[in-house]
Structure 1
Amino acid sequence: MPMDTFTLRGYETDAHGRLSVPALMNILQESANRNAAEHGFGMADLTQFSQSALGWMLMRFRLRMYHYPVYGQTIQVMTYPTFVEKYFIYRDFRVLAEDGTLLADATSTWLVFSMEKRTMVPLPDFIRNLTLPSHPDPLPRLPLKPDFQTAPFSPILEKTVEVGWLSIDQNQHVNNVAYVQWLVECVEDETLKTRELAEIDLVYRTESHWHDRLRVQLAIDTSAEAPSDTRLHRIEHSGSGKEILLARTRWRTSD
């Protein structure tokens, strides 16, 4: 199966010299864009084969990090769609070192939305009728409503951000990776200095736009089955309180 190859640049690494999670998510998104175009359902195809302007939107995403690559290291990204339903298409990712070591994997759920009405629409027939490529065993599909959506949430940290121009993508809303950078920045200093992100699970609830003011919150996951290194995150509109993103992260001691 084809792979995209990337050599990590300095601005893609964090204070420890490791690939940052937002940078990795941008890399994965670039590979997804290329792969979708190769299979005939990229952004340009949505425009060409649809009577109205449509766009792709990420709804669910879970990333698991096994080993962090570092500055100058070359990585390979393999991505492929795994299943198509009426409203959702599922996509997996695998990130490999040059020697084949699995560095990370991810699974995601995408939908198509109307650029005019800003609402979800059924996948166009030309996507639903796709013959999916052969691929390794797919990762389990993410539940649309994960259990952490209803977990008790008592913020221990909160920051307010105003959406800037550079956070807006071609769909005229905040790019999904911008939210991840904001939620990571709203984590306790000690955790950021001494631990590394092992897993992040995201639910994108609605969109936000240029000049919106957003409240970014962090809480400890106090559910009985949650380990002590698990955090909950919420991003909401400062004015209306409407939820934009919910997330759960798990952290481990850095090597």
Structure 2
Amino acid sequence: MAFIQTDTFTLRGYECDAFGRMNISALMNLMQESANRNAIEYGIGIADLAARGFGWMLMRFRLRMHEYPRYGQTIQLLTYPTEVEKYFIYREFQVLAEDGTLLADATSTWLVFSMEKRAMVSLPDFIRSLSLPADIPQTTVTPLAKLSSRPIFQATDFDPTQTKNIEVGWLSIDQNQHVNNVAYVEWLIEAVDSEILQTRKLAEIDLVYRAESHWRDQLQIQSVAETPTAFLHRIIYPETGKDVLQARSIWEDN
């Protein structure tokens, strides 16, 4: 069987920012929740993989905000897998208002890793044999293309102008015993210049997850302006310079 997960949520106060708009981390958490519900229907949820010694890991994620949901608004979140390859499975998301207006969309790339070896493995047969939905809803907004494993911004010269050191806290760790992918986005946003946060809103964020990090790891968040409205970001292990995450964000006026 092929499933399109559809969930309805009404925005609560703690999911909104200082302007009453849904904050990005809350939206990504709901996306992750819907994705796992969808995976459970397919028999490939977190618990299903853990029972076989595997875990899910997000490799790529790109989110576009078209119109921010606001406090008290009811939204519909749709998610579904779109393609399965030897090593990767691709998943898309749509966020709709009650009248069907597209508020946000996202596309993502996931891999499976061995819990014992903490290393990527090819997708097991029980995942590669999935039947994908054929009746994916269409919107009036140009669909997001399949994500490249090496986006162009990775090759851009990176000389950070802002840095912030952090220690990974216990509440950032998920069931796979590493930092949850949403926590990285929270850290990136918190490290953005205060004037940007107060005068602009995030229109798009493109993320490449490069390595795991764990409880009490010491990390450094780095950023630099690419243009007046676009920024490049990295999270690294400062002692080695190893990349944990690379990202590009685009901001527009409030």
Displacement over 4 Å in runs of 4+ = none
Structure 2 contact 21–71 (Cα < 8 Å) conserved: yes
Which residue of 1 is the match for residue 144 of structure 2? 139
Structure 1 contact 61–203 (Cα < 8 Å) conserved: yes
CA–CA separation in structure 1 for the residues paired with 2:222 and 2:38: 34
CA shift for structure 1 position 41 = 1.1
Which residue of 1 is the match for residue 47 of structure 2? 44
In structure 1, the gaps of 5 or more residues are 222-226
The alignment's C-alpha RMSD in Å is: 1.2
TM-score by length of 2: 0.94
Structure 2 contact 5–37 (Cα < 8 Å) conserved: no
CA–CA separation in structure 1 for the residues paired with 2:137 and 2:49: 27
The one of 216, 219, 226 equivalent to 2:221 is: 216
CA–CA separation in structure 1 for the residues paired with 2:132 and 2:69: 30
Which residue of 2 is the match for residue 107 of structure 1? 107
Q: Say yes or no: does 1:16 pair with 2:15.
A: no
Deviations 1:23-63 (A, max 9, x none): 10001000000001111211122244x3xx10000000000
Q: Say yes or no: does 1:6 pair with 2:33.
A: no
CA–CA separation in structure 1 for the residues paired with 2:5 and 2:60: 24
Structure 1 contact 154–220 (Cα < 8 Å) conserved: no
Deviations 1:62-116 (A, max 9, x none): 0000000111111100000000000000000000011111000000000000011
Which residue of 1 is the match for residue 37 of structure 2? 34
The one of 150, 154, 157 equivalent to 1:152 is: 157
Q: Say yes or no: does 1:197 pair with 2:184.
A: no
CA–CA separation in structure 1 for the residues paired with 2:43 and 2:148: 27
CA–CA separation in structure 2 for the residues paired with 1:248 and 1:238: 20
Structure 2 contact 5–34 (Cα < 8 Å) conserved: no
- Farther-moved stretch of structure 1 (21-30 vs 152-161): 152-161
CA shift for structure 1 position 2 = 4.6
Which residue of 1 is the match for residue 117 of structure 2? 117
Which residue of 1 is the match for residue 239 of structure 2? 239
Q: Say yes or no: does 1:229 pair with 2:229.
A: yes
Structure 2 contact 5–80 (Cα < 8 Å) conserved: no
CA–CA separation in structure 2 for the residues paired with 1:197 and 1:79: 22
> 1:83 corresponds to which letter in structure 2?
E
Structure 2 contact 80–92 (Cα < 8 Å) conserved: yes
Which residue of 2 is the match for residue 224 of structure 1? none
CA–CA separation in structure 1 for the residues paired with 2:189 and 2:199: 14
CA shift for structure 1 position 157 = 1.2
Matched residue of 2:187: which SS? helix
Which residue of 1 is the match for residue 187 of structure 2? 182
Matched residue of 1:3: which SS? strand
> 1:150 corresponds to which letter in structure 2?
A
Matched residue of 1:130: which SS? coil
TM-score by length of 1: 0.94
> 2:165 corresponds to which letter in structure 1?
T
Over the matched positions of the two proteins, sequence identity in percent amounts to 65
CA–CA separation in structure 1 for the residues paired with 2:28 and 2:61: 10
CA shift for structure 1 position 228 = 2.7
Matched residue of 1:148: which SS? helix
Q: State the aligned residue count.
A: 246
CA–CA separation in structure 2 for the residues paired with 1:39 and 1:149: 33
